[in-house]
Structure 1
């Protein structure tokens, strides 16, 4: 305690601004260092800085590229400084500027870029075994130029729209809707490659959790505005990869020009300008400042995206990065800023910004192995510390008021009503007290068995309890005149929220409903309003009564274990029949199973959106592995089958720089046991797109069956790589998409109704055709090609079935038009 108190007393806060002595304009990226002490920081885009220094610090040095260094003595009581720097005499080499001329692939600029690329490994600290630094991140998101009526016609909410920032974006008003600040300890190890980020201080705006999932906002904005490093081969932004101007193959896509040479008292730098060879590609234009001390490291970089680039909804996009040289002569990143303006045409609507400051680097620290245990990113908030006392960069006046303005807005009844309407339209749920009803899409459905179906569903919210969760529905079919139901509950076992990661909970569910053969039980089972109109909708049904008890345990390293015990009673209804192969005059009345399931899942570095127990992975380059084992127990609660099943799945996104990205999912499995075919593997049809499952668009329900199988899917988005290079067409900004699905499987003799006598025959269509088939020597294939970004919101696809086209009542080809909002 005495040590911590002494540390607090020995620290003081110092802030100020650095400006040009002549023009009085702020200097961005100026370095502030304490003499004989490790503390240091740099100025932000407004020329401001904020730093916590030891009380024994008596002098600081201020330096900036192109300016004379200045040494300033600190007087007792100094807390705010205004520092003016004089420009340093520079030697500017002769530069010929030619309006017209052919670009030469071999010139002084490309020769210098070759040296930068050659020295990238050294400048990325690859030779250092460990690295530590602290980082301050600020993420903002809000409106650009709110409509004047918002300030006068929204009643008690109008006050919020009057507090706008007019200085951050010239000629525009910015209204911040979301603000998040993090201060973290960061650890890097090279061999083996490991990283750890521990967030020690955090402050962020939050809306009413009944309507807004605040952690999802944070996850999404952190996903969009990821940290940027010029030494990466590509820079990820808006789910796209922009090739770095110093990537290994950058010269194939960029042109480089020497602008000038800057010679200071200690160092010489060369400023390069670069631009894309094709302005429609996902490339940058901007400037690089490169050191000429033999390391050829990047000192500063300015990146912009050409307005002709194939990006929708983005009107402006800028990245600024600054690096400083430490005592070892290594360039370390000290500041970065990503600023983007979203809109349509000439109308700016929204903005997003991420500003980061890295400081207190230590390249000599020995990092214990225990530091890297658990999740790569952890929130361990320091008790008793206010982020206001640790910010290296102070907030401006508008940013400081954002927190209080959001709190005041949340207290307004009118604002809560507005959130409720938005939540219903966006999520399909309507909150009523501590529960919410929905989803709206599942209120009405129509199928051949039930006719018109009405369903009322709902779920609890954290307002009732964050450690216990319940969901369920009651449905009624007007043709079969039967009620159906579903009820599920989950209870946390770790004393924490049942929804947050890492989770540990026990769950139980019961369900009575009708299912197409091969479909799993669940709250959303495919009976939405839109599924009433698909061409290959189910025609055969099983009346199912199911009971399930499960346990889920997630480890901090994104390894999870899920165990389930499920009992199901399935009965053929309607015109579905299960004639016995041993005697076709007799039919199997019920299929009863008792099943133990264990699933191991590993999703390294996974990020996701969640609402209650539902999760959706934020797709990055990391793979997801899943191993599932099922054991059927004959005789347990009347179960009639003994079987074993093993399924292995893996999915991964491959980023291919200018060629876009491709998503690959593979599933292989085998089922042991003599079983009726509804218990075997069937391709899923037109399910909700999920990275970890494979669904098919051109197969019919129950069309194929197998007890050992392999499924592969591939989807690729070229991001306009080809069409961007075609005259006239490139102005449309279309993007090419294509993909394929494969299903290959075999059916053992015992499970094949044509060779075994212990199973059931395949059922037939109304016209007498056999509905289910055993694959031959060749796997089933279907594929599609299409165009995305039509009018910025439409996607059109042409699907084609390559084989097994002789099967009756199938679609051989199909066009599909869908809405697809993507940057």
Structure 2
């Protein structure tokens, strides 16, 4: 008898299953169809396109890369591809086989962007009894339950990649001598895609992080576990500032926020609380083959110039009214400068509790001076979120500390780590960018180009360990010095990362005097003193001229552009200033500083220091000697800036900046003649007001304790140049007002075209309306009034009027301006409202301001 072994039994089972499977397949073969859907005109892939077997409900949508994959065991021999605004395509398929069918959709010229059905009488769009508006109101009503902040706890992994390239480059540019041996740097793509045919990758950064959220007490923390960045020579570029600047431009897009920050502006979200007042909504499709079923909701701005999106979103029909996906673009007429195209795709993933969280966002923006042609800059930011966990609390220590921290050795991860940790794979061009940029910086012609660019933009010419500049101070003129020549420079980190030196020498042809400056700085954290966070000690000495009350930075006092002034400007000071300063900054943007300042000031030009001796005899005082100890506390939460060669350029945001200064004059210390205390405080903040634009507000107050001559009082910042200055009084004369106690407010509101966009003849110019108002309250107490104390220095007089203390009436001025002229120019008509009886006080003035804005 034959034995039935286990192996024989297993083989018999396998044979039986194969026989049954073969029989089943022969009766019900599976048809599998996959492929990519593109726009026939632009050749771009198309997400969220409906692909189904014809005359059935079996199908699905393309993903964010335009790919689809559908299957059926039924005998359907056609697929149907449809998308609003495009002609529906039907293709034959082979039943029972796997096949790839790529489809290019053709735009339906008879369709309208706003999906309006034309009849003999055009129907007016209205919110009343509009099912699309009712739907969006449900989405708005359910916002709170569909955001991360609705959970008590949440955490997730996040990958970010930001890539920036020079875009739409011509063959002439590509074939320049500088790139002769480096053609591998260029990236070729389809010419109809965003960015154009030829691109030159210039920057990329990647981050991997774990993010933690706690509802009560509120905490949101990002732990960056790995980071990688293209880095340029620090003599030319602030790499840290570059990262900050790009990340500010390409911010996270949270469609559930009322306003979405984009390019230093705020665009109203299509699901903002009052979005039906600014958008038109249309139900353009119902996707019943999805689980849950989805409604495709298209939207377009009522005013195409407004800071609004257009596009479509997919809303779940499961009672959550959550956004499952969204495609956002902007109208070509939008009030955004230099933006050729913008596209953002958002994808949301379902949680275990049935709600949705953002799983991927992809933001692409192409910039150019010319909207249609010429080279530009293309940037793309991809964010992928996974491992989303809710209501799983961590220890308190996890949520405490700064909002963003870097793990140890986060910058030291090797290529193997990144290949294993990225959620996707970099294409060949992107994978080589880090190495390619390093190679590019070794090319002599590239170094020369960067050297010239640094001279033109920052004003410094680099010579390795030392750089000469700034160039705009080499030549200037004023009534006291006449023609003034100046030459200076400073050391670079190539000399030392611990020691820094800065110096200049200047000479005036009229007063025939030499001026000079020298400083030595020691970095306490072995980092460049021009990088954040700073921690240094500096000693400096300056012998130079100065306009009383004008606290300009040393390196800018002889700026050529400041030479042009209105009215008389011949009351100056000669200064000898020795300073010893200590500055300490923290990662949370809290900083403090201590200082010692020995200051000798003497009158120059027509300015005179005079008091009255007993008997009414006028006495000329040659020099005022002061020694001052000071402390400063500054807190700028979430502050962002670009560290330039001269100063930090702030990147505007909604967070306030607090500054508190204290100065103590010490009589007898190093020859000081006066005891006094001076306390000043300042709060500055930008307020975003959605479609009404934004407002910059600065409030300041000060009080001086003690008995001092007028040069030591608070001499309020006046402006006699033709440039509009945000935080100076543009129709106040130099040294016109002094105080020993004061309060001020400055308000500058930019409507961002909210009003002009409603005027047919103006909206095409994309001008922006601006209003500005400044007020100053203050006065001089009796103890510091020279009219009551003969020993005090008398307030000076001059051709443009004298020096006064503020009375019960505040100084006030306001202006109306037009901005965005040629995209860079702002012109203000300024009116002075008070103290018009002062000699030389102008009532009106026109001022100019040059600024690049998006």
TM-score of the aligned structures, taking structure 1 as reference length: 0.87
Aligned with residue 353 of structure 1, among 380, 384, 390: 380
Does 1:101 find its partner at 2:120? Answer: no
- The residue aligned with 1:791 is 822
Q: 1:821: how far off? A: 2.4
Q: 1:800: how far off? A: 1.3
2 CA distance for matches of 1:717 and 1:370?
Answer: 42
- The residue aligned with 1:647 is 680
Change (3 A) 1:723 1:752: same
Q: 1:265: how far off? A: 6.0
Instruction: Write the mapping of 1:463-542 to structure 2, written as runs, cut at 5 A.
Output: 463-520=494-551, 522-536=553-567, 538-542=569-573
1 CA distance for matches of 2:179 and 2:115?
Answer: 61
1 CA distance for matches of 2:268 and 2:241?
Answer: 28
Contact 2:214 2:399 in 1 (8 A): no
Change (3 A) 1:406 1:416: same
Does 1:439 find its partner at 2:470? Answer: yes
Q: 1:162: how far off? A: 6.3
- The residue aligned with 1:258 is 283
- The residue aligned with 2:158 is 135
Q: 1:191: how far off? A: 2.5
Change (3 A) 1:472 1:405: same
Which deviates more from structure 2 when the two are superposed, residues 698-707 or residues 376-385?
376-385
SS of residue paired to 2:241: helix
Change (3 A) 1:742 1:590: same
Q: 1:333: how far off? A: 0.4
Contact 1:66 1:262 in 2 (8 A): no
SS of residue paired to 1:418: helix
Contact 1:268 1:292 in 2 (8 A): yes
Change (3 A) 1:315 1:742: same
Instruction: Write the mapping of 1:655-804 to structure 2, written as runs, cut at 5 A.
Output: 655-686=688-719, 694-765=727-798, 767=799, 771-804=802-835
- The residue aligned with 1:577 is 608
- The residue aligned with 2:324 is 299
Change (3 A) 1:688 1:144: farther
Does 1:176 find its partner at 2:201? Answer: yes
Change (3 A) 1:84 1:770: same
Which deviates more from structure 2 when the two are superposed, residues 302-311 or residues 261-270?
261-270
1 CA distance for matches of 2:192 and 2:232?
Answer: 26
2 CA distance for matches of 1:538 and 1:388?
Answer: 65
2 CA distance for matches of 1:46 and 1:466?
Answer: 50
Q: 1:241: how far off? A: 0.9
1 CA distance for matches of 2:734 and 2:170?
Answer: 51
SS of residue paired to 1:684: coil
Q: 1:692: how far off? A: 12
Q: 1:736: how far off? A: 0.5
Q: 1:340: how far off? A: 1.2
1 CA distance for matches of 2:386 and 2:398?
Answer: 20
The Cα offsets for residues 381-429 of structure 1, whole Å up to 9 and x where unpaired, read as 4355532321112111221222222122111111101111111111111
Contact 1:531 1:537 in 2 (8 A): no
2 CA distance for matches of 1:186 and 1:570?
Answer: 55
SS of residue paired to 1:220: helix
Q: 1:469: how far off? A: 2.2
SS of residue paired to 2:467: strand
1 CA distance for matches of 2:214 and 2:489?
Answer: 47
Change (3 A) 1:759 1:660: same
2 CA distance for matches of 1:96 and 1:284?
Answer: 16
Aligned length: 755
Change (3 A) 1:613 1:329: farther
Aligned with residue 146 of structure 1, among 157, 169, 177: 169
Aligned with residue 394 of structure 1, among 413, 425, 429: 425
Q: Which runs of 5+ in 2 are unaligned?
A: 1-31, 39-44, 50-61, 69-80, 84-97, 104-113
Which protein shows a greater Rg? 2
Instruction: Write the mapping of 1:239-278 to structure 2, written as runs, cut at 5 A.
Output: 239-264=264-289, 266-278=291-303
Contact 1:291 1:299 in 2 (8 A): yes
Contact 2:748 2:771 in 1 (8 A): yes
2 CA distance for matches of 1:402 and 1:761?
Answer: 66
Does 1:336 find its partner at 2:391? Answer: no
The Cα offsets for residues 656-692 of structure 1, whole Å up to 9 and x where unpaired, read as 0000101000110100111111111122134999999
1 CA distance for matches of 2:491 and 2:668?
Answer: 36
Change (3 A) 1:539 1:96: closer
- The residue aligned with 2:94 is none
1 CA distance for matches of 2:843 and 2:381?
Answer: 49
2 CA distance for matches of 1:681 and 1:136?
Answer: 51
The Cα offsets for residues 287-345 of structure 1, whole Å up to 9 and x where unpaired, read as 01011111111000111111111222111111111101111112110111111111213
Change (3 A) 1:122 1:186: same
1 CA distance for matches of 2:422 and 2:67?
Answer: 15
Contact 1:703 1:773 in 2 (8 A): yes
Q: 1:266: how far off? A: 3.4
Which deviates more from structure 2 when the two are superposed, residues 445-454 or residues 689-698?
689-698
2 CA distance for matches of 1:96 and 1:812?
Answer: 54
Q: 1:816: how far off? A: 2.6
Contact 2:348 2:360 in 1 (8 A): yes
2 CA distance for matches of 1:219 and 1:688?
Answer: 33
Contact 2:204 2:230 in 1 (8 A): yes
The Cα offsets for residues 578-609 of structure 1, whole Å up to 9 and x where unpaired, read as 22145451132221111111111111111111
Contact 2:115 2:282 in 1 (8 A): no
Q: 1:118: how far off? A: 1.0
Does 1:201 find its partner at 2:222? Answer: no
RMSD of Structure 2 on Structure 1 (CA): 2.9
Change (3 A) 1:689 1:364: farther
Change (3 A) 1:809 1:101: same
TM-score of the aligned structures, taking structure 2 as reference length: 0.84
Q: 1:43: how far off? A: 7.1
- The residue aligned with 2:845 is 814
Which deviates more from structure 2 when the two are superposed, residues 193-202 or residues 165-174?
165-174
Which deviates more from structure 2 when the two are superposed, residues 652-661 or residues 280-289?
280-289
Aligned with residue 615 of structure 1, among 622, 628, 648: 648
Change (3 A) 1:633 1:162: closer
Q: 1:617: how far off? A: 2.1
Q: 1:84: how far off? A: 8.3
Contact 1:29 1:45 in 2 (8 A): no
2 CA distance for matches of 1:251 and 1:326?
Answer: 29
Q: 1:776: how far off? A: 1.8
